[in-house]
Structure 1
């Protein structure tokens, strides 16, 4: 991943270029290939380049608009390049425009609406020194990070929190509400970071600041939301699979655009298996310019129940893909302690962090410039989101009866009870989504007596109250007015706070390894398609990921398609906490910052882990 950082002083005070150099040096792995800085009155902008695409090899950022003097720094891969070239009326004299040049032209033409016209993974900052106006934006799926701090009339903005913390004169205390939310697994305040005064720009949002508005503070605004009125309806259900396959194949093709090897973290699941199969087909048929493509799969010789190569090897063999097995038995969570784990940016560290870091190091040694994954596949087309109620409304009574029968047999209840389970929750959701009912429900929540919160026993309830964290916080209030309970649930899954935290963690790991992280399942066009079709076409009760499975027929080897499925990581995690990582856990639970801040009861937390070691839940 590339990176960006800048300091803007809206009071016109001089910005020392050494200060922005310090910010850049806090993330040196983002400038694997080059670093460039622009300075002007009260501003300094730096671009850190890690080249991932052929066009990026020709970029020299920051770039300046000759007509307006505006300066752009961008960490970006733009996927709708042909569409933009046509809409902007660009006639390349020699080589095709770079992604940064397309962003600069889009901003010059469409102003604050430019970000909505861009499809791909991006974060950029545009500074107009003549108007002393800043415009910054992130992509709609949240694949490239951007953080900022506005203090007085000075703004610091960067790809990583660590860069802002490194800037001379910046001090930041730990953000107690964020830390408590993190402990509770509540990741749905998109602007929060671990530090007071430093904010994250949310996915699909932009920030505008100028001399007139700086006193009022930063007020991000949304540049993109899924269109609630867009619907895709076909007479033949097979057309949904064909439509999805077309959109998904384009998402994979765009991410194969690389100046070096493209890698893929390949498991035995449908999500990464679909990426591998589509990539294999594109490579075989000559529909991509990717020079090299290779897969990386974890090999477990001891924990054979979590080894997925029996499925992934079928795809590798079918398309004759280069494949590397990563010995993983020794790579359990906490195995690198006190190394590894969270960075100064964020306390989040996924359970697969040691495995990912090891695989990324091997891929970097192989010359990988782009690493693909299937991170968002479960949320895009899976999860426990059913639309039996939608089948009923669509007049598909036979399919509805089939769902009821499956639910009856699975739950061991009567057919009537099964039907109630499938119909009543979405029916209540539909009534609750109507404006009058929504207002009534909000009033009821305010007036009803407070219920005992189901908090973990090791969390300090006074700290929860002090942080102002209400029970059941979610991103419901940011869900657009989509029709259908299942459709709204799908949107919330795709853009869940937990998913955003995982993506940013993977992005940082990939950046430290020296390459770009990309996920075809996190393509905006894929999300728009999935959210526009009937949700009963996405999956059915007893038929998980039906849409993706149908789309992959004839693309993924039949045997692999039948066998693809999710493998539980529980054996890996349990071994880490009950055997190999016990000393690390004991050390982490002794004199922790969380306990010092009064967020957790250290004794209760220690008792909880003792119960796990002894075979408890």
Structure 2
């Protein structure tokens, strides 16, 4: 796991020197890659490639980056892990390709030399990389199907800059810092900045599952090589073997994610997802017990959302080396500035991940597995029931948005208490009649009609126009996800999972130099289980299947626990401000985050 960076002066008449800018970009990512820094320049000085290294596979100096293949034609800067690199290496060696290291990085290089852009579809893992062809003088960029690893681009028409973090690009000093209203509107609506936007007009992510080529002075269009929605749209099979197939696929995915030359740990809550991951890790064996790390917020001790009792039971069940990291109210409040500084884009989440990654690093771990993704894949969220029900209940108003808006406006005057305690409730008839609208209503932090008061009328109007939130959500259903439950799975995976959970895992883990692996977020796993998901989710057996995937299933007490999510005592983040309504508390924290990123307070006042 690392940080990649580059500056390609692809269209300038005479190349300029960007050495110092690139160094500043890489220095801003030092925590991502504390084990080393590398820099490479093309012979014509048009391209500067940089790399910050966190050594996990082939940790010796031979695998440092940027790396050249044996022929010296191709140069790569790579962030991520390729879990099937050994099998790919065997095939490439049989085809005559030579290797100087045991790294997965060199496997990507030779696979690209052999197959060009088609190589992307053969890579199993999480990745974002840049490969320069010194003969064709072209640059190739690619990002994994789920978008686990970020890659941000800024193109001013002559020079393309790219890096693993938005803040790193800004640190270079060569990127326009104009705030993007669409990014601010997206954060206000969703609690994160949704792709394809960032907080800045000049910076965009390379879309997940896409590659991009720059050659002959032109930047091409991103080309898709993998699509989550296409997997969810697959023909559904109703066969008795589905459970067996899914269980084996889970075992295989966790096995793949154990590929490393350093010790691996696991983030352990009291839930099914991380518990199943620990159990499947244990099945693969090892000389020592697995280090499992659980957060214990002192303010939550003894409450229904305290993770410790069940996490302790799971750890004992799988004979793990269990470490409980206790956090007081003072600890939480004292670390708010550091959390906001590490946060790469505005988000209301990631706090627990920041703390558990910090604990992992203090234990000497560079890599930890997480249970992220189990709910999206196996129907663990309440949205799998509530969204289809809402669409059915309000379908008649789907084609009458003006009526729904009128109901909301009249209701807010007649029912002020409801508006104050549940500000989204009155928008059900306005948004609930379509899947994108119902999803926005359920997942939304603020709603579109609230943004002028939050952001200012002009920013809200432009932001919503460019963002097109309902169209954005609808895009995660294309092409053709028709089953109601799989529609929810596709929306959750393409929006909340990609734009919030995975992105937060990246910045919060990398803030401490910890690589977070997500075996339940794996494209090969998705492709294998997708034909069986509708029946499994409909029967409400998804989490039971996950709990039974280890050879020693999870205790029944874990499976019967109500879904709570990983709670954080938010009042400690808000200088003592308290609100019994967690959604409204999240709104208070969102205002604080937004102020930290924009430096503005007037339009954001409560």
Whether TM exceeds 0.5 here: the answer is yes
Relative to structure 1, the CA distance from residue 163 to residue 144 in structure 2 (aligned partners, 3 Å threshold; closer, same or farther) is same
CA contact (8 A) 1:379 1:493 kept: yes
Unaligned runs of 5+ in 2: 409-429, 431-446, 580-586
Q: Which residue number in structure 2 is paired with residue 477 of structure 1? A: 475
Instruction: Please report the TM-score for the alignment, with normalisation by the length of structure 1.
Output: 0.78
Match of 1:357 in 2: 354
SS at match of 2:366: strand
Aligned positions of 1:320-331 closer than 5 A: 320-330=319-329
Distance 1:587 1:81, change over 3 A: closer
What's the counterpart of residue 517 of structure 1?
516
CA contact (8 A) 1:426 1:485 kept: no
SS in 2 for 1:115: helix
**2:73: which partner in 1?**
69
Q: Is the 8 A contact 2:573 2:589 kept in 1?
A: no
Match of 2:2 in 1: 2
Q: Which residue pairs with 2:114 in the alignment?
A: 109
Partner of 2:308: 309
Contact kept, 8 Å, 2:22 with 2:48, in 1: the verdict is yes
Q: Which residue of 2 aligns with 1:400?
A: none
Residues 57 and 364 (structure 1), Cα distance of their counterparts in 2 relative to 1, 3 Å cut:
farther
Deviations along 1:333-391, one digit per CA (max 9) or x if unpaired, are: 655344422547312241x51x433332232122101021112111111224659xxxx
Structure 2 partner of 1:79: 83
SS in 2 for 1:492: helix
Match of 2:148 among 131, 135, 143: 143
SS at match of 2:117: helix
Q: Which residues in structure 2 correspond to 1:160-175 (within 5 Å)?
A: 160-175=165-180
1:570 Cα offset (Å) = 6.3
SS in 2 for 1:44: strand
Moved more, 340-349 or 163-172: 340-349
Structure 2 residue aligned with 1:547: 545
Correspondent of 1:153 among 140, 150, 158:
158
Structure 1 segment 497-576 matched on structure 2, within 5 A: 497=496, 499-540=498-539, 545-552=543-550, 554-567=551-564, 572-573=569-570
Asked if the contact 1:188–1:475 (Cα under 8 Å) also holds between the matched residues in 2, the reply is: no
- CA contact 1:372–1:519 (8 Å) conserved in 2: yes
Change (3 A) 1:332 1:152: same
Q: Tell me which moved more, 159-168 or 112-121.
A: 159-168
CA displacement at 1:248 relative to structure 2: 1.3
Which residue among 418, 442, 460 is the counterpart of 1:464?
460
Between structure 1 and structure 2, the one with the greater Rg is 1
Distance 1:576 1:44, change over 3 A: closer
CA change 1:23–1:422 in 2 (3 A) is closer
Deviation at residue 39 of structure 1 after TM alignment:
1.0
Per-residue deviation, 1:510: 1.4
Give the counterpart of 1:270 among 266, 269, 272.
Answer: 272
**Contact in 1 for aligned 2:80/2:128 (Cα 8 Å):** yes
Does 2:369 correspond to 1:372? Answer: yes
Deviations 1:582-609 (A, max 9, x none): 9x9799769947898799452xx2xxxx
Q: For the structure 1 residues 291 and 147, does the alpha-carbon distance in structure 2 shift closer, same or farther, using more than 3 Å as the test?
A: farther
The match for 1:280 among 279, 282, 292 is 282
Structure-2 separation of matches of 1:132 and 1:448: 57
Query: Is contact 1:539–1:546 with CA below 8 Å preserved after alignment?
Result: no
1:470 deviates by: 4.2
Which is further off, 34-43 or 526-535? 526-535
Structure-1 separation of matches of 2:526 and 2:347: 25
Give how far 1:108 is off: 1.3
How far apart, in 1, do the equivalents of 2:161 and 2:569 lie? 41
Deviations 1:216-245 (A, max 9, x none): xx5222121245574463632xx3222122
Secondary structure of the equivalent of 1:538? Answer: helix
For residue 576 of structure 2, give the secondary structure of its aligned residue in structure 1. Answer: helix
- More divergent stretch after superposition (146-155 vs 330-339): 330-339
Secondary structure in structure 2 of the residue aligned to 1:545: helix
Q: 1:83 to 1:230 in 2, by over 3 A?
A: farther
> 1:47 matched to which residue of 2?
51
Following superposition, the deviation at residue 142 of structure 1 comes to 1.2
- Alignment equivalent of 2:296, drawn from 294, 299, 302: 299
| Alignment partners' CA distance in 2, 1:515 and 1:113 | 30
Please give the TM-score of this superposition, normalised by the length of structure 2. 0.79
Q: For structure 1, which segment, 49-58 or 258-267, has the greater mean C-alpha deviation from structure 2 after superposition?
A: 49-58
Partner residue in 1 for 2:223: 221
CA contact (8 A) 2:270 2:314 kept: no
Name the SS for the 1:496 alignment partner: helix
Aligned-partner Cα distance in 2 for 1:152–1:246: 48
Q: Which residue of 2 aligns with 1:438?
A: none
Separation in 2, partners of 1:586, 1:144: 26
Partner of 1:118: 123
> Offset of 1:308 from its aligned partner?
2.0
Question: How far apart in 2 are the matches of 1:7 and 1:529?
Answer: 38
User: Deviation string for 1:514-557 (max 9, x for gaps)?
Assistant: 2211111111122223322141213535x5634324535x4334
> What are the within-5 Å matches in structure 2 for residues 378-389 of structure 1?
378-382=375-379, 383-384=381-382
Tell me, yes or no, if structure 1 residue 176 matches structure 2 residue 152. no
Partner of 2:340: 341
- Deviation per CA, 1:161-216: give whole Å up to 9, x if none: 122112243332111221122112175741211111111112111111112424xx
Give yes or no for the alignment of 1:210 onto 2:215: yes
Q: Which residue does the alignment assign to 1:23?
A: 25
Alignment of 1:185-200 (within 5 A): 185=190, 189-200=194-205
Gaps of 5+ in 1: 388-406, 408-420, 430-440, 606-617
For residue 520 of structure 2, give the secondary structure of its aligned residue in structure 1.
helix
Does the aligned pair in 2 maintain the 1:262–1:293 contact within 8 Å? yes
* Distance across 1 between alignment mates of 2:602 and 2:32: 34
Q: Which moved more, 1:255-264 or 1:104-113?
A: 255-264
Equivalent-residue separation in structure 2 for 1:585 and 1:487 (angstroms)? 33
- What is the Cα-based RMSD across aligned positions, in Å? 3.8
Tell me which residue corresponds to 2:413. Answer: none
Q: Deviations over 1:261-298 (max 9, x none)?
A: 21211011111111111112222xx5xxx876301112
Q: Say whether the 8 Å CA contact 1:278–1:556 is kept in structure 2.
A: no
**Residue 586 to residue 370, structure 1, CA distance change in 2 (3 Å):** closer
Pair 1:601–1:60, CA change in 2 (3 A): closer
Following the alignment from structure 1 to structure 2, what is the Cα–Cα distance between the partners of residues 597 and 272?
39
Distance 1:311 1:191, change over 3 A: same
Using the alignment, how far apart are the partners of 2:48 and 2:262 within structure 1?
31
- How has the CA–CA distance of structure 1 residues 564 and 253 changed in structure 2, closer, same or farther, with 3 Å as cutoff? farther
